[in-house]
């Protein structure tokens, strides 16, 4: 998610990367269930938490949503 955010919204400040939407506002939401995180497998992202995050983004006026969840399907 961090790398995607940098490509999208890196500041227009004359320093290396310039985001394609440098004036964008980023709303970062973590859908991981902390009780289901392990060192070996990382964190699980319940479908209900993902749906709630997308809905929260929509309610906050998001025009673009990126799901950088990683891991196995």
Give the separation between CA 57 and CA 49, rounded to whole angstroms. Answer: 12
Give the separation between CA 9 and CA 11, rounded to whole angstroms. Answer: 6
Q: How far is CA 56 from CA 17, 20, 60, 64, in A?
A: 29, 24, 6, 12
Q: Indicate whether this model's pTM tops 0.95.
A: no
pLDDT single digits (tens) 1-36: 677 777 787 777 777 777 777 778 888 888 888 888
Across residues 39-57, what is the average pLDDT? 90
Across residues 51-61, what is the average pLDDT? 95
């Amino acid at each position: 998610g961090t790398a995607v955010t940098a490509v999208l919204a890196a500041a227009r400040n004359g320093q290396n990367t310039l985001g394609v939407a440098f004036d964008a506002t980023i709303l970062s939401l973590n859908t991981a269930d902390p009780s289901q995180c392990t060192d070996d497998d990382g964190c699980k992202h319940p479908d209900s938490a993902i749906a709630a995050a997308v809905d929260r983004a929509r309610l906050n006026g998001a025009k673009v949503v990126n799901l950088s969840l990683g891991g196995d399907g």
